[in-house]
Structure formats: C-alpha cells, structure tokens
Amino acid sequence: YDAKHRRVPHCVYDAGLDRHSRERLALYTELSHAIRDGGLTLYYQPKQRLSDGRIVGVEALLRWPHPQRGLIPPGAFIPMAENSELIRPLTAWVVDAAIRQLAAWRRDGIDLRCAINLSARNLLDPGLVEYIEVALSRHGVPATSLEFEVTESALMEDPNAALACLLRIHALGAQLSIDDYGSGYSSLGYLKRLPVQTLKIDRSFVSQLSVSQPDEIIVGSTITLAHNFGLTVVAEGVEHDADRDALIALGCDVIQGYWLAKPMPAAALAAWLAARVTTD
Ligand code: C2E
Ligand code: MG
Ligand code: MG
Ligand code: MG
C-alpha cells in the first residue's frame, strides 16, 4: 500500500484510542512485520534423561529481538498473537525455523528431537498439518524428530477439535506432549483418549518440590499415574540440586530447567553440547 492509504486509519485510531490501545496497536503492527521480515528468533532449551544423563531433546522457545525494547519474551506478545489471526503465520514461521535448524544440526551430526509449542487456535487450523508436512519435506527432516507441546487449557477450549488435530499430527509420526500439566482442569477420561506420549509437569509444582510436602505428593502421584498410562514424565523448571534429587527419588524420567541450562540461541546450544561431551 502507499503512504496515503496507510495514514488514514492511523488518524482515525489516534482519535478514538487511549495511549494503551495505541501502544498495543503499534506492537501488533510491528509483530506482523517481524513475522514477515524474519525479525523473530528461536532459543532452545535442552531436556535431560535422568537414567543415563543423555540430552534427549530441546524445546524451541520464541524470542523477539526488538530494536528498541531488547529481547522480548513470548509472554509479552504471544497472547496478542493468539487473540488474532497472527498466531497462524507466527506458528508457521516457528515450525519452519525449528525444522530448518534441525536439518542444520543433522548435517553437523547432532541428532536431536525438537519440541514446538502450539496454541489453542493452531489446533483449530485446518492448514496446520499441511504446513508442518511442507516444512519437513522442504528441509528433509523426518517427522519423528518433532514433538508438539500443547497445554491442558488449550486442549480444553475445544476438546473434540483438539483430539482430531492431535490424531493427524500423531499420524505424521511426530510426538505429542501435554504442557504445564496440573495447571488446568482437564479430565483424565479425556486425556487418556489423546495420542500423547509425554506429560510435562508444570513448573509451579516443581519449584517448591523439596520444601513443600503437598507438591511432593502431587508430583509423586502424577508420575505414578502417568507411568501407569505408559507416559514419559518431564519436569519443567528444575532450578536446584534439591529439585533434581527429589525428582530422581520420585522416578521422574526427564528434566528441563535452569539447573541444566537456560534457553539459548542455536549456536550456543551446539557449543554447550560439545562442551558436555568433552567433560563427561
Ligand atoms: P512453556 O512451553 O511452558 O515453556 C517453558 C517456559 O519456562 C519458558 O519460558 C522457559 O524459558 C521457562 N523456564 C525453563 N526452565 C525454567 C526454570 O528453571 N525456571 C524458570 N523460572 N523458568 C524456566 P518462555 O521462553 O518465556 O516461554 C513462556 C511460554 O511462552 C511457554 O511456556 C509457551 O507457553 C509460550 N511459548 C514460547 N514459545 C512459543 C512458541 O513458539 N509458540 C507458542 N504458541 N507458544 C510459545
Ligand atoms: Mg512448552
Ligand atoms: Mg510448560
Ligand atoms: Mg507455560
């Protein structure tokens, strides 16, 4: 569009909106440009299997390096994308970028599984599975290298549609996990119908684990229950030695958190992995 057409709506908005709304509108416009122009980036946080110490995968976590505001965390802009149609191009960008990175790592001999977060609206998008497939074949990566994380609350927004979507992703060969488990109100009757392999226990239960007996009981019984369903359990937000020790005692399978490593750019992750191999 030309400058004249761009200016007209701005004048209209400025007259009718308060400062807060105008700032949000500006952020929205900037975000749409960042998605379009490659202005977003992914950080990667490793996950470690407790039984043998192996790094079994990474989670891709979105960051927005903003020229004025610095590195913006996803909590500051993903909700805005989720409440608009921006979540679709945003997720499509994340999927392509993560798979492109997986391909690059594979060329360097690094074989990792990468987890991607999906929002509630993505589960209602009939084009989701197709753009995942397109990205996989474009970069020559098998679907088995992918995992998708979906929160309990996203699943519960439209449980039947979510189930249909997860079945299609599962049929591709990608793994599925329930994120932030315990923070929502999903019923076990529903969860057991889902083609998921992994339960990620919400950070809020993990952070107090070594000092809170109720949390220890919740985490312990969640692990037992998940294992009885044949699910792998990941604990999120593991920050201290004591958290890790408690999780080992409770039979947790995999940990993720600052104790192991913070999310980092792709190159830093490769260096981190290489340093581990030489010091192990
Ligand atoms: P999540 O999927 O539950 O991701 C875990 C969050 O916990 C990440 O925050 C991570 O940096 C943080 N974290 C990991 N270990 C620790 C720890 O030991 N202590 C503490 N205090 N925090 C830890 P982050 O990167 O800010 O992401 C927040 C949320 O934003 C994510 O929660 C996820 O729901 C959403 N998100 C991130 N990237 C994407 C994306 O590409 N698409 C969508 N739809 N959502 C995303
Ligand atoms: Mg996640
Ligand atoms: Mg989580
Ligand atoms: Mg979360």
Give the number of whichever ligand sits closest to the CA of residue 263.
1
Q: Using a 6 Å cutoff on CB, does residue 80 contact ligand 1?
A: no
Q: Please, which pLDDT band fits residue 19 given cuts at 50, 70 and 90? A: confident
135 has a pLDDT exceeding 50: yes
- The mean per-residue pLDDT over the stretch 147-168 comes to 95
Q: Using a 6 Å cutoff on CB, does residue 46 contact ligand 1?
A: no
Q: Using a 6 Å cutoff on CB, does residue 179 contact ligand 1?
A: yes
Give the number of whichever ligand sits closest to the CA of residue 118.
1
121 has a pLDDT exceeding 80: yes
pLDDT tens digits for range 210-250:
899 999 999 999 999 999 999 999 999 999 999 999 999 99
Chain CA centroid to CA 40, Å: 15
CA of 180 to the centre of ligand 4 (A): 6
> What is the C-alpha separation between 240 and 194, in angstroms, rounded?
32
> What is the C-alpha separation between 1 and 7, in angstroms, rounded?
10
> What pLDDT score does 3 carry?
47
Check: complex ipTM more than 0.90 = yes
279 has a pLDDT exceeding 60: no
Probe residue for ligand 1, chosen from 117, 203, 207, 247 as the CB with the greatest number of ligand atoms within 8 Å: 117
> Are 198 and 175 a contacting pair, CB within 8 Å?
yes
Instruction: Report pTM.
Output: 0.93
